[in-house]
Amino acid sequence: MPIFSAIRQHQITVIPAKMMIGVWLLTAAGLWATAALTWVTVIYCEAFALELHPGAIFGAFLLLIVGGHYLMESLRRLSTAAAVVFYLAFIALAGIFSGNLFTWQGVVVVLGITGAMFAVSACLCWCVDMNPGSVRQIIIMIVCGTLIAMTVNSLLDSCPSRWFYSHVTVVLWAVTAGCEKDTLHGYARKLYADEFYTLPRCIVLGAMMIYLSVIAFYRRLLMCVMDILSGFWWH
């Protein structure tokens, strides 16, 4: 019995860390995929002289904001396959929206840097046996992202606005990942109590949670701006 107890304790210690590393890597992949789809959207539109109707762009924006809000409420009920489909759908919507609102060079640089931050953090946690999601690890993640942003922007001789957005995006995504630590650890605990929760499902749900939480931040920011503007309008 002591042997089985020791094995159980080892699993409880190792699997949450393994899950968090998987979440970091899948988040990095999602960011890189968004950047790639932004580039593809711009190149495709230029090659075929297409221009998306403003209504289509606004529709993609509404799907991101409203759909993301309702999806967060029902995230726990999604199967692994459904979670993957929705994750890819939101990546596609974000890529299309970004490609028609920002320059693809800026999106590729900013999201590429942020994705690299998550990938490097996952590798560091794996190599030095660091606890992913801890306050120390999130601080190290921000430092890594800042160093990557400084290096990449220096090599590309980026404009000041790209420097600014790179650092803001790095901090936003890292802090969001840290704020969702309890939810992510909750998924890990479910691995021992519910057959519906598997390691791949927890990793996909964790990456989606971070992605949707960032979208939710922009939704709240937009609501604050609208409240301020409506206040000026009525007064």
Whole-angstrom CA distances from 133 to 4, 87, 140, 184 are 28, 21, 10, 9
Q: DSSP code of 75?
A: G
**Along the 235 residues of the chain, how does pLDDT read in single tens digits?**
444 344 344 444 445 778 888 899 999 999 999 999 888 888 877 666 666 666 667 777 777 887 887 888 788 788 888 889 999 988 988 888 887 778 888 889 999 999 999 999 999 888 887 777 678 888 889 999 999 999 999 999 889 999 999 999 999 999 998 888 777 777 767 766 655 677 888 888 889 989 988 988 888 887 787 777 676 666 5
| pLDDT score of 52 | 62
| pLDDT score of 12 | 44
What are the sequence ranges of the domains in the chain?
A: 1-234
CA pair distance 18, 15, nearest whole angstrom: 5
| Dihedral angle computed from the Cα positions of residues 211, 213, 218 and 219, in that order, rounded to the nearest 10 degrees | 120
202 and 187 Cβ atoms separated by less than 8 Å: yes
Q: By C-alpha distance, which of 75, 26, 18, 16 is closest to 213?
A: 75
